[in-house]
Amino acid sequence: MSESTQNAHHESMPNDLDPLWMPFTANKQFKSAPRMLVSAEGMHYTTSDNRKVLDATSGLWCVNCGHARKEITEAVSAQVGKLEYAPGFQIGHPASFEFAARLAALAPGDLDHVFFTNSGSEAADTALKIALAYHNITGNASRTRLIGREKGYHGVGFGGIAVGGIANNRKHFGTAFPGVDHLPHTYNIKQTAFTKGQPEWGGHLAEDLERIVALHDASTIAAVIVEPMSGSAGVILPPKGYLKRLREICDKHGILLIFDEVITGFGRLGESFAAERFGVVPDIMTVAKGLTNAAIPMGAVLVRKHIYDAFMSSSENAIELFHGYTYSGHPVACAAGQAALDIYINDGLFERAAELESYWIDAAFSLQDHSHVIDIRAMGLVGAIELEPMAGKPTVRAFDAFLKCFERGVLVRTTGDIIALSPPLIVEKNQIDQIFETIGDVLKKAA
Ligand code: PXG
């Protein structure tokens, strides 16, 4: 290493790592061998020891346009200079209205009203509150039950963990949210291993909603919330027909259907939203992550016209929904979001993801015969390589692969023993090759 690189390394590595309590991280392990990213551009991060790392995860499934996009940087700095903040309660600023109108136009069906939050977790909790309040004001106050799904992830707020279905996210935090039930997950690799695209098996699991309705009665159920494709649980694609059937059963019983599109929104599955890809329009949709390309945190909830209209039928000076955040519709986040939307449209990134899909799937399936690979799932520009857990040591095999890939210049993400991949939609074919060659090499060496 040259002297100048050593200096750069030294300057960018903080002296004291102890005060920061890192989120969703093995703090002790990390701090004993830190991995630090100091800059990013396009498809790559640069580490504190000045290595380029190909980003196969879009940060955390969020930097869909690629890193450090000039258009976003410029829009953000112009907005900070012009109006860095304005309150959003009982007063407005143009950017939030303009951005909402563009999102409404992009969203399918009549999902044409937008409530801004600052994260996916806040979007999930907001969506659940809107569903409860909707029934309350339309004369169905007994509809208070919320139905999630096993293995679901809807962020870390109390509402989100209650309807979520990942045990580690729930088990230490009590049972503060009553009246929740869960659909069964659709993960079953005995039936579906190595399916390219959506599995044939599993559509029947939507029928379980009828069982839940029979158990609790529809008059007590407000909403069903699902990720159209489970991301955090390890890329579980919806079985064919499953989402359509959920929609039908919800309609039959007057239950609102919420899609959490925090990961699937903004091109991940080769369409603007999973709702478009699967041809099912929910009543409420949550988004975040790719909404601003993650340059500034932001989330949003989109609701269908009849829901918004129900709230607007109250008296002229009433506050229709007692909910909101200091930073709802933050001007700088709106500027980032508008610039991201321009990039998605001008660069045709959703179409690009669709065009690359078959190349992506074939590249993922090139690892099919590697030892310890027990399933591969892929669609759009998202994928998962599921590994056989080491006997008595779950998660170790995948985490080891994550560390080795990082050493070899590719950033992947792991959840359990699953390697999850979701590159920026600007990824090139040779970079797709690099991602899977690196993983393949790491798995071969580890075998
Ligand atoms: N809903 C879904 C479907 C998500 O994937 C959230 C809500 C919460 O968003 P915020 O912005 O509050 O984090 C998410 C977040 C991973 C991983 O690798 C997934 C998420 C976040 C961090 C890591 O599985 N998803």
Q: Measure 14 CA to ligand 1 centroid, in angstroms.
A: 27
Question: Measured from the CB, is residue 225 less than 6 Å from ligand 1?
Answer: no
Question: Measured from the CB, is residue 118 less than 6 Å from ligand 1?
Answer: no
Question: Measured from the CB, is residue 124 less than 6 Å from ligand 1?
Answer: yes
17-56 pLDDT, tens digit each: 999 999 999 999 999 999 999 999 999 999 999 999 999 9
Question: Measured from the CB, is residue 360 less than 6 Å from ligand 1?
Answer: no
CB atoms within 10 A of CB 196: 15
**Residue closest to 9 by CA, chosen among 58, 49, 59, 66:** 49
Q: Measure 184 CA to ligand 1 centroid, in angstroms.
A: 20
Cα–Cα distance for residue pair 161/164, rounded to 1 Å: 5
Question: Measured from the CB, is residue 165 less than 6 Å from ligand 1?
Answer: no
* Torsion region of 91: left, alpha or beta (phi above 0 gives left; psi -120 to 50 gives alpha): beta
Instruction: Kindly give the number of the ligand 1 atom that is closest to the alpha carbon of 232.
Output: 24
Above 80 in pLDDT, residue 3? no
Across 159-195, b (16+ Cβ under 10 Å) vs e yields: bbbbbbbbeebeeeeeeebeebbbbebbbeeeebeeb
Where do the domains of the chain lie?
3-65+348-446, 70-346
- Tokens describing residue 293: 């390309």
Question: Measured from the CB, is residue 276 less than 6 Å from ligand 1?
Answer: no
Name the pTM for this structure. Answer: 0.97
**Residue 63 in contact with residue 423, Cβ under 8 Å?**
no
**Residue closest to 126 by CA, chosen among 303, 295, 289:** 303
Question: Measured from the CB, is residue 413 less than 6 Å from ligand 1?
Answer: yes
Q: Measure 6 CA to ligand 1 centroid, in angstroms.
A: 35
Question: Measured from the CB, is residue 263 less than 6 Å from ligand 1?
Answer: yes
Question: Selecting from 3.30.930.10, 3.20.20.70, 3.40.640.10, 3.90.1280.10, what CATH number does the domain 70-346 have?
Answer: 3.40.640.10
340-397 pLDDT, tens digit each: 999 999 999 999 999 999 999 999 999 999 999 999 999 999 999 999 999 999 999 9
Instruction: Kindly give the number of the ligand 1 atom that is closest to the alpha carbon of 286.
Output: 1
Query: Which residue is closest in CA terms to ligand 1's atom 16?
Result: 232
Q: Considering the chain, what is the average pLDDT of its residues?
A: 96
* Torsion region of 33: left, alpha or beta (phi above 0 gives left; psi -120 to 50 gives alpha): beta
- For a mutational test of ligand 1's pocket, the pick from 166, 289, 382, i.e. the residue with the most ligand atoms closer than 8 A to its C-beta, is 289
Question: Measured from the CB, is residue 415 less than 6 Å from ligand 1?
Answer: yes
Question: Measured from the CB, is residue 422 less than 6 Å from ligand 1?
Answer: no
248-268 pLDDT, tens digit each: 999 999 999 999 999 999 999
Sheet order of strands, 418-421 included: 373-379, 382-387, 418-421, 413-415
**Residue 145 in contact with residue 230, Cβ under 8 Å?**
no
pLDDT grade, residue 6 (50/70/90)?
very low
Question: Selecting from 3.40.50.2300, 3.90.1150.10, 3.40.50.620, 3.60.15.10, what CATH number does the domain 3-65+348-446 have?
Answer: 3.90.1150.10
